[in-house]
Amino acid sequence: MKDTLVAAMSDSLDPTCCRDGHQMKFEKHGITWKAMPDDHELQAASSYHCNYNGCSVRYDLERGYFTVVNTPEHPFFVEEPGVNLLMCPKHGTWLYRKESENGDDRYDWHCGAEDCDYVHKR
């Protein structure tokens, strides 16, 4: 299994929010923080963000589906309960859910790593 930090997340995914079923949008610098309290330079992390009616759910390869609690120094990541269950066997990254292509109101689970076509069908 490959290290999750080696795989790059694609910016052209179409993950569905695990709370409300809405499409999530890519944010290149979606989460920012200072490495040290006196630092002037911000650290940033890319993620997909729901933001429908104030929804705070995010998705990335390393954490899967999660929310962010902003603490004074660093963001605190809280895993969405009962969602992150499947990982890509090729990359060791969390899968994201996407509406099934057969139109049966179900979701399939896809790898978010660039150029990976792994799908776990339900």
Q: Summarize pLDDT for 26-42 with one digit per residue, the tens.
A: 999 878 887 776 767 88
User: Diameter of the chain by CA atoms?
Assistant: 52
Q: Considering the domain boundaries, does residue 82 fall inside one?
A: yes
Q: Considering the domain boundaries, does residue 18 fall inside one?
A: no
Structure confidence at residue 6 (pLDDT): 56
Q: Considering the domain boundaries, does residue 68 fall inside one?
A: yes
Nearest to 41 by CA among 32, 30, 49, 50: 32
Q: Considering the domain boundaries, does residue 9 fall inside one?
A: no
Residue range of the domain that includes 73:
25-120
What does the alpha-carbon distance between residue 48 and residue 51 come to, in Å, rounded to a whole number?
A: 10
Question: What pTM, to 2 d.p., does this model score?
Answer: 0.85
Total of domains in the chain: 1
Q: Which two tokens stand for residue 114?
A: 């660039």
Structure confidence at residue 37 (pLDDT): 67
Residue ranges in the chain whose pLDDT is less than 50: 1-5
Q: Considering the domain boundaries, does residue 31 fall inside one?
A: yes
